Amino acid sequence: MEVKISKSALKNAITAVKKALPKVVIQEERGHLLFSVDGDIMTVQATNNDMKACCTVAIENVSKENFSFTGDPKILEKLLVKIDIETIRITFDAIEFVVKIYTTESEKSFSSMQSFPPDKMLTFDLSSWKESTKYPVDKEVLLFTLNYSKNFLAALKDDQKQFDFIVIDKGYVYAANGTNKMGFLVFKAYGLVESLKIRKNVLPLFTQFIENIKGASVQLFETKNNIGVVTDSGDMVFMFLKSNVGAPNIPKDHIKSEGPYTLIEKNRLLKVIDRLMASNVSKTNFGVELNLTGSGENAILQVSLLSSLKNTESFPCVRKDDGDEDVSHVIDYKIFKSIMASFDTDKEVRLHINDSGKAYKVYSSGEVSGNKYVLVGRGSYAKAKVVS
């Protein structure tokens, strides 16, 4: 049994698909990829039962036989780096379960690799996505969405199960670590997507898989049991089990930039707060007080550390649509910084602190691949005590 395959195509397939393998391999075969030859197509697939990935690659089926074998992706990747020829010859002995990868044009230059019986491998229905509900979306829009939203998910695995995923619903994207930190994104590109949930623990590998996809667009899809993404050509698929936790209702009123706000230089504010925190030796009660005074372009934001060390800094800002009434709020340093840092493409943001509400909001807008968006970050005000 013999095939010939492009080295670069094989390498790309292995790199993408291996992300669905278990992180901790208890049974050695569970750490192998499954290679299936059918005519002039080879399908590479991997699964840990939760996540599933596959990639199809064009080959030359020299033996004209359909067969399957397995391979350790770590061994294969190390080997492919050292092979100079672009077209690789692979043979499989179905009796001894030995795979040979020829490293040059010579019959005497090859490396051998042990295969497991293919019927012992975990497999999944490769065609389930074909009859699913699909939502075309720009790849860069999807990556932007995932990278922004992940900043608002709970840091610990067991925190806030009801907020343990990103929700995409009819043009809105929502992620939160609970009620004290929420992130929203408005993208018309998701207008047709309805209540699709991307679980937190699959997010890093899901994002990496999408980054490996060539082309400008992909398709999100939803089956009875899975959520996933597939290329327009159908040659690369990544899917994972649905969450069985109900998504909270998206509070649409948080998304609107209504009422007075302060136009502020984001990086300058973050730098000021970092300077204030430099002298704080405490690891708890990171309280910082924001005091807004003045009006219009003559407004001043004063930032003070809630500590016996009276660290204070101030800098000019612009107040919009309100008077000159003094406003003072206490924020949690860590939450505020993580929200502000999420707006990594923006220099100036709208900071809604010009009121006596229970939460502040940060707004920005922009464009990705010709698609306009609005970003919103919401954080509750802190009840911090003075650090002595």
Number of separate domains in the chain: 3
Mark which of 120, 149, 179 sits at the end of a domain.
Answer: 120
In the chain, what is the straight-line distance between the N-terminal and C-terminal CA atoms, in Å? 75
Q: Give yes or no for a contact between 216 and 231, defined as CB atoms under 8 angstroms apart.
A: no
Q: Are residues 96 and 133 in the same domain?
A: no
Q: Are residues 108 and 134 in the same domain?
A: no
Within-domain flag for 312 = yes
Q: Nearest 10 degrees: CA dihedral of 299, 303, 304, 310?
A: -80
Within-domain flag for 385 = no
Q: Are residues 183 and 77 in the same domain?
A: no
Instruction: Find the radius of gyration of the CA atoms of the chain.
Output: 26
Q: Are residues 155 and 260 in the same domain?
A: no
Structure confidence at residue 387 (pLDDT): 44
Within-domain flag for 233 = yes
Residues 6+ apart with CB under 8 A from 9: 57, 58
Q: Are residues 182 and 135 in the same domain?
A: yes
Tokens for 129, please give them.
């996505």
Q: Are residues 227 and 288 in the same domain?
A: no
Structure confidence at residue 388 (pLDDT): 42
CA nearest neighbour of 76 among 5, 160, 11, 120: 11
Q: Give yes or no for a contact between 296 and 338, defined as CB atoms under 8 angstroms apart.
A: no
Q: Are residues 240 and 280 in the same domain?
A: no
Q: What is the CATH number of the domain that holds 149?
A: 3.10.150.10
Mark which of 75, 90, 120 sits at the end of a domain.
Answer: 120
Structural domain harbouring 286: 256-380
Q: Are residues 270 and 376 in the same domain?
A: yes
Q: Are residues 206 and 105 in the same domain?
A: no
Within-domain flag for 386 = no
Distances, alpha carbon 141 to alpha carbons 68, 93, 148, 263, 372, in Å: 37, 45, 11, 26, 10
Q: Are residues 281 and 368 in the same domain?
A: yes
Q: Are residues 105 and 70 in the same domain?
A: yes
Within-domain flag for 132 = yes
Tokens for 163, please give them.
């907020």
pLDDT values of the chain reduced to their tens digit, one per residue, 388 residues: 888 999 889 999 999 999 888 776 666 667 789 999 999 999 999 988 889 999 999 999 888 989 999 988 998 888 888 888 889 899 988 888 888 888 888 888 878 888 888 877 777 777 777 888 889 999 999 999 999 999 998 876 555 567 889 999 999 999 998 888 999 999 998 989 988 999 998 999 999 999 988 888 999 999 888 999 999 988 999 999 988 887 777 777 788 888 899 999 999 988 888 888 776 655 455 688 899 999 999 999 999 887 766 788 898 999 998 888 999 999 888 889 889 989 887 789 999 998 877 899 999 999 998 899 999 999 998 865 444 4
Q: Are residues 143 and 238 in the same domain?
A: yes
Dmax (CA) of the chain: 84
Within-domain flag for 388 = no
